[in-house]
Amino acid sequence: MNAAPTAAGHGLLACAVCRLVSRAPQSGDAHCPRCGAALHARKPASLARTWAFLIAAMILYVPANVLPIMDTSSLFGTQRDTILSGVVFLWTSGSFILAALVFFASVVVPLAKMIVLAILAGSVQMRSVKHRRIRTRLYRMIEFVGRWSMLDIYVVTILVALVQVSTFASIHAGPGAAAFGGVVVLTMFAAASFDPRLIWDTQGEES
Amino acid sequence: MPEYKLIACLECDLLHRQVPLAPGGEARCTRCGARLYRRASPDSNQRALALALAACILFIIANIYPIVGLEVQGTHTSSTLFGAVKSLWEEGARAVATLVFVTTFFVPAAELIGLIWVLVTLRRGARGWGTVPMLHFIESVKPWGMVEVFVLGVLVSLVKLAHVASVEPGVALFSFGALMAMVAAAAAAFDADAAWAQLETIR
Ligand SMILES: [Zn+2]
Ligand SMILES: [Zn+2]
């Protein structure tokens, strides 16, 4: 028998909204006696949903980086900016801190998020018992930093709004922006679908 | 062992017995380190209400005034958040416009109104209409409110534009900055455990 007392191990269900712990019903769907939320021992179809969102995000990640997120047309011609060329522009114009910040938010965060989620889902599927605490912490981390990759979407929004109407140039949002927004949304859904408790469900098998 | 004294870790499912904490204290899971529960100060929901009301006023200011102004060859242009979303929508980037609208306007507004709704109802000592669905709603939309990311995005675009034109941060930018701090403070002060416990006693 495993030593750690878990809610599931004791036939109890924890409400994800109000945190009330209640006894699981013998049959049928469970609802929280205090707030009425649907109760699940684990998030339903957690791994399948995580993979589905994750793979969709990975596919969309390609156009998000290849297609321009912004077209700038001025008297000097048209310039198409991708996520990366935007970072390069900031760097070469001397805004090193900002360039690093945008690089982190738009390149490192989404990539790290997808890699970490793949590792988490994969390791759960292989019933790994290693580094559970670290894996749980990784999950917490990607949930926290994921939102920051919206940064470039907001930059494009402001630039389009301000420069569209002015005379010296016009800036339009490119198809890359929609793809990139899609990546952010899909990775957020993927992270929300993953159930970190699955990491610990292998407890009994640890030597 | 009565069930209501138990709390399960949402990240590893380990059961813990709730122990009284000192005010301001928080309990973490002994196995994975996730936050389990905390003991807020007794007046924290009053503080949350005051902060949420202040945030509401800032939210209105932030959406009326322009975020940034731009001056090129004597012509001045400026844009509000709404104007920015509108120009994205009009040029066909509808998905992006919707995403920006939802994360910077709809969710923050809904969260604030919901929080005020719940806190005012609880203050009156009533169970109130829609309090429980409202709490569920606040919880589910929370990850989609991204005012702080938006503020950083505006700052980045200011720096980018500063290379080609003279830019001036608008009133709304400062309001959004203050709003970001206020929303975070209100969310931190809001004692959901106390709200649920109170709702349970007045059914
Ligand atoms: Zn509940
Ligand atoms: Zn835990």
Q: Which amino acid is at B122?
A: L
Show the domain range for B5. 1-39
In which band, very low, low, confident or very high, does the pLDDT at B74 lie, cut at 50, 70 and 90? confident
pLDDT of res. A167: 63
Same structural domain, B33 and B47: no
Extents of the domains making up chain A: 1-41, 45-202
User: A42: how many CB neighbours lie within 10 A of its CB?
Assistant: 14
CA-based nearest distance B131→chain A, Å: 10
Same structural domain, B91 and B21: no
- Those residues of chain A that have pLDDT short of 50 are 1, 207
Query: Which one of the ligands is nearest to A200 CA?
Result: 2
Contact B37 A93 (CB under 8 A): no
CB neighbour list of residue B177: distance below 8 Å, 6 or more residues apart:
B151
Over 50: is that where the pLDDT of B3 sits? no
pLDDT of res. A203: 63
Contact A154 B154 (CB under 8 A): yes
Same structural domain, B101 and B151: yes
C-alpha distances out from residue A65 to A105, A108, A132, B2, B108, Å: 14, 13, 33, 54, 29
Same structural domain, B100 and B156: yes
The 10 Å CB-count burial string (b at 16+, else e) for B30-45 is ebbebebbbbbeeebb
Over 70: is that where the pLDDT of B30 sits? yes
Cα–chain center distance at B196: 19
pLDDT tens, position by position, B48-70: 999 999 999 999 999 999 988 88
pLDDT of res. A207: 33
Contacts of B10 in chain A (CB under 8 A): 14, 16, 19, 196-197
pLDDT of res. A204: 57
Same structural domain, B8 and B27: yes
Same structural domain, B144 and B192: yes
Through-space distance between the first and last CA atoms of chain B, rounded to whole angstroms = 25
Same structural domain, B94 and B158: yes
Within a 13 Å sphere around the CA of A155, how many CA atoms are in the beta-carbon half? 31
pLDDT of res. A165: 58
Contact A163 B70 (CB under 8 A): yes
pLDDT of res. B75: 77
| Predicted-complex ipTM score | 0.90
pLDDT of res. B169: 86
Backbone angles phi, psi at A206, to 5 degrees: -70, 140
CA-based nearest distance A187→chain B, Å: 12
Same structural domain, B34 and B54: no
Cα–ligand 2 centroid distance for A78 (angstroms) = 53
Averaged pLDDT for residues B136-158: 91
Same structural domain, B16 and B100: no
pTM of the model: 0.91
Q: What is the dihedral of CA A117, A120, A123, A125, to 10 degrees?
A: -80
pLDDT of res. A1: 43
Same structural domain, B27 and B96: no
Averaged pLDDT for residues B81-102: 92
Question: Which of A164, A168, A201 has the CB atom closest to B73's CB atom?
Answer: A168
Distance of alpha carbon A194 from alpha carbon A177, whole angstroms:
26
Contact A10 B15 (CB under 8 A): yes
Q: Which amino acid is at B26?
A: E
pLDDT of res. A164: 67
pLDDT of res. A71: 85
Q: State the DSSP code for A177.
A: H
C-alpha distances out from residue B20 to B11, B26, B39, B40, B194, Å: 22, 10, 8, 11, 14
In which band, very low, low, confident or very high, does the pLDDT at B1 lie, cut at 50, 70 and 90? very low
Contacts of A16 in chain B (CB under 8 A): 10
Give the residue on A whose Cα is nearest the Cα of B103.
A150
Q: What is the domain count for chain B? A: 2
CA-based nearest distance A149→chain B, Å: 8
The 10 Å CB-count burial string (b at 16+, else e) for B157-195 is bbbbbeeebebeebebbbbbbbbbebbebbbebbbbbeb
What is the CATH architecture assignment of A45-202? Up-down Bundle (1.20)
Burial of A69 (0-12, 13-18, 19+ CB in 10 A): buried
